[in-house]
């Protein structure tokens, strides 16, 4: 899995009832942060002694068809840093609360259909309008598609039947996502959450792949 290194001391979910409770609680917490998650797999890492002290070295997460803050994500592959887990909450049957910030590294992948669907949502409509104006001189943005190694943006002027199109490629620029036209005349840097740092951006397997790290504050 790109961007994720195997842990030295993995704890497998079948190794004991306490670990199963923690894994289940973490799944509930992760799902509660998202609007939708089609499938979710976790692997917990650490040692038995660390677990008894309420500490995990980290978790490896793999998920598909995730909707987070109205953003449709096709695939998520992440490895977290160390986590503090309150065992008292687990033993009392309470929901797990993660109170300390932690780091995650890995990748997320988007389909063209997922990106187009996200950009018409209220949360991202402003970004869609800005992209349409800056890339094509028109808003709103009609949609986008992935053609081999290019990201094609489309817009349509009012009363016109013909679509305006621009072929681009994604790139990482100073920790953010950039969009560059094939002729190099246009280059945009999209606004990013300051807690997210993008390292690479590319088109692979018919999807937009983003690799980087983020600080998660529960």
Domain count, the chain: 2
Residues 163 and 192 in one domain: yes
Find the helix or strand (DSSP H, E) in which 114 lies.
helix 112-119
Which runs of consecutive H residues, i.e. helices, occur in 9-70?
A: 17-32, 48-52
Handedness of CA 114, 5, 193, 170 (dihedral sign): negative
CA distances 91 to 19, 25, 55, 87, 182, Å, are 11, 11, 15, 6, 57
Whether residue 178 sits in one domain with residue 118: yes
49 in the same domain as 17: yes
Specify the DSSP class assigned to residue 2: T
Residues 49 and 68 in one domain: yes
How confident is residue 6, by pLDDT bands cut at 50, 70 and 90? very low
Residue 2 burial (CB count, 10 A): 10
* Arithmetic mean of pLDDT, 68-87: 91
Instruction: Indicate whether 139 and 191 sit together in one domain.
Output: yes
Predicted confidence (pLDDT) at residue 86 exceeds the cutoff of 90 = no
Last-in-domain residue among 57, 85, 110: 110
Same domain, 106 and 125: no
The range of the structural domain enclosing residue 20 comes to 10-110
Is residue 199, in this structure, part of any structural domain at all? Answer: yes
| Prediction pTM value | 0.86
Q: Considering the domain boundaries, does residue 103 fall inside one?
A: yes
Please, which residues have CB within 8 angstroms of residue 22's CB and are 6 or more apart in sequence?
Answer: 44, 51, 56, 85, 90, 96
Q: Is residue 70 part of a domain?
A: yes
pLDDT at residue 156 in the model: 82
The pLDDT confidence band at residue 16, using thresholds 50, 70 and 90, is low
> Are 174 and 128 found together in one domain?
yes
Distance CA 58, CA 90 (A): 17
Last residue in a domain, options 78, 110, 142: 110
User: Does residue 137 share a domain with residue 98?
Assistant: no
Distance CA(179)–CA(173), nearest Å, equals: 9
Model confidence over 132-183: pLDDT tens digits? 999 999 888 888 999 989 999 999 877 677 789 999 999 999 999 999 999 8
């Amino acid at each position: 899995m790109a961007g994720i290194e195997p842990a030295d001391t993995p704890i497998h979910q079948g190794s004991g009832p306490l670990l199963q409770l923690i894994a289940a609680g973490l799944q509930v917490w992760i799902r509660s942060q998202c609007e939708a998650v089609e499938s979710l797999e976790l692997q917990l890492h650490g040692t038995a002694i660390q677990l008894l002290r309420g500490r995990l070295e980290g978790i490896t997460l793999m998920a598909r068809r995730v909707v987070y803050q109205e953003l449709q994500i096709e695939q998520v592959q992440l490895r977290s840093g160390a986590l503090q887990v309150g065992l008292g909450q687990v033993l009392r049957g309470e929901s797990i609360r993660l109170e300390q910030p932690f780091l995650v590294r890995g990748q997320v992948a988007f389909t063209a259909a997922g990106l187009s669907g996200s950009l018409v949502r209220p949360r991202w409509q402003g970004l869609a309008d800005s992209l349409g104006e800056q890339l094509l001189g028109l808003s709103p943005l009609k949609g986008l598609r992935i053609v081999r190694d290019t990201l094609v943006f489309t817009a349509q002027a009012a009363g016109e039947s013909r679509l305006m199109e621009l072929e681009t490629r994604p790139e990482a620029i100073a920790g953010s996502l950039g969009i560059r036209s094939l002729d190099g005349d246009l280059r945009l840097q999209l606004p990013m959450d300051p807690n997210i740092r993008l390292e690479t951006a590319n088109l692979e397997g018919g999807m937009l792949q983003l690799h980087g790290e983020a600080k998660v504050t529960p």
